[in-house]
Amino acid sequence: MSTQTLTIELPDGIFSRLKDRAEQSNRTIEAELVNVLAEAIPGEELPPDLAAEILQLDQMDDESLRELTRQGLAEEIAERLESLNFKNQRNGLTEIEYQSRSEALEAYERFLVLRARAFELLKKRGHDLLTGPSGS
């Protein structure tokens, strides 16, 4: 991977918070800054349709987001994934079963990403995720 060098001036408060984060995560300040930027600037590692769904969550109201956080993985997908994982441990999978497991795993990962983003948005909007909106 190629890299570029960038020199920036940071206000003391931002630098201090960045330094604290770096210490908490056992990283250098430079590594922590790269991590912060990577989180803040969406990459193309997500499939375009999933990225679009994530962006749609930003437009949802708080109650819709809370509902999303309460949902579980569709029972059919969860059961299929569990069954195929057990079968794989016992005696392996056929190519079709392997593909089915991959599809179920992809659905599970998609569910986790969307649910995590809903939690993140609620937190940013000031909700105490254990009890309800802040100040209530």
What pLDDT, on a 0 to 100 scale, did the predictor assign at position 46?
76
Asked if residue 74 and residue 56 are part of one domain, the reply reads yes
Query: Are 30 and 89 members of one domain?
Result: no
Rounded to 5°, the CA angle 114-50-60 comes to: 50
Mean pLDDT of 5-11: 89
Rounded distance between C-alpha atoms, residue 43 and residue 91, angstroms: 38
Q: In the prediction, which pLDDT does 136 show?
A: 44
- How many independent structural domains does the chain possess? 2
Is residue 86 domain-shared with residue 36, that is, in the same domain? no
What is the per-residue pLDDT for 1? Answer: 55
Does the structure show a pLDDT above 80 at 13? Answer: yes
The string of pLDDT tens digits covering residues 123-135 is 999 888 776 554 4
User: Binning pLDDT at 50, 70 and 90, where does residue 43 land?
Assistant: low
* pLDDT confidence of residue 135: 45
- Has residue 32 been placed in a domain? yes
Range of 59's domain?
A: 45-133
Q: Are residues 74 and 112 in the same domain?
A: yes
Digit-coded pLDDT (tens) for 51-110: 889 989 989 999 999 999 988 888 888 899 999 999 989 998 899 998 999 999 999 989
pLDDT at position 42 over 70: no
Q: Are 59 and 35 contained in the same domain?
A: no
Residue 92 lies in a domain: yes
